[in-house]
Homo-oligomer: A and B are copies of this chain.
Amino acid sequence: MSEETKEEIKNEKVDEEVTEELTEEALEDIVEEEINELDEAQKLATEWENKFLRVSAEMQNVQRRGNEERLQLIKYRSQDLAKKILSSLDNLERALAVEGLTDDVKKGLEMVQESLISALKEEGVEEVSYESFDHNIHMAVQTVPADDEHPADSIVQVFQKGYQLHERLLRPAMVVVAQ
């Protein structure tokens, strides 16, 4: 038996003797003290548990919000560049409208135009619909009286094309609308 173990046993015996010598009253005090300490410890455990539960719930929120934000960022990531390219597309259309273009030039311009439109489309950018006037996607720059061919609220002419990225409008179409 090691010296340390012997020492432990001796100490235990001393403790026992002390306990035996305690009066009933002293024991009651100890019980009371223990109960108080237990109460404190249980309160503390509950506090830490609650803190844990709160921070766990908060983390789930942080993760959920982070995922939503990431999806939105990815979905609309091309928005700024796409918006800026729209004016290049306008310029291209104007260049194509010039009279007396040689076939080569016309073909070249159309190729550029198609590649731009297809690049935008792949990123989710498309022209708005012109089915009937909708102030959410159209800007009426002129109105004409409705007739048999052009019923009220129909789009008569498109001055400048409108585009949207998924359901988000990049710019409204400038249109002539029948009224």
Asked if B55 contacts A85 (CB within 8 A), the reply is: no
- Chain B residues in 8 Å Cβ range of A81: 78, 81-82, 85, 119-120, 122-123
> What number of copies of this chain does the assembly contain?
2
- Chain B residues in 8 Å Cβ range of A105: 95, 98, 101, 105
Cα A116 to Cα B92 in complex, Å, equals 11
Cα A51 to Cα B118 in complex, Å, equals 52
Interface residues of A in 79-111 (CB under 8 A from B): 80-82, 84-85, 87-88, 91-92, 94-95, 98, 100-102, 104-105, 108-109, 111
Shortest CB-to-CB span from A95 to chain B, Å, is 3
Shortest CB-to-CB span from A135 to chain B, Å, is 28
Asked if A94 contacts B73 (CB within 8 A), the reply is: no
Beta-carbon nearest neighbor of A117 in chain B: B88
- Chain B residues in 8 Å Cβ range of A24: 24, 27
Beta-carbon nearest neighbor of A19 in chain B: B28
Is A144 in the interface zone, CB < 8 Å from B?
Answer: no
0/1 string, A137-173, CB within 8 A of B gives 1: 0000000000000000000000000000000000000
Shortest CB-to-CB span from A170 to chain B, Å, is 12
Shortest CB-to-CB span from A87 to chain B, Å, is 6
Shortest CB-to-CB span from A15 to chain B, Å, is 12
The contact of A88 among B42, B102, B115, by CB within 8 Å, is: B115
The contact of A48 among B45, B100, B101, B102, by CB within 8 Å, is: B45
Is A134 in the interface zone, CB < 8 Å from B?
Answer: no
Beta-carbon nearest neighbor of A115 in chain B: B88
Cα A100 to Cα B109 in complex, Å, equals 15
Asked if B45 contacts A41 (CB within 8 A), the reply is: yes
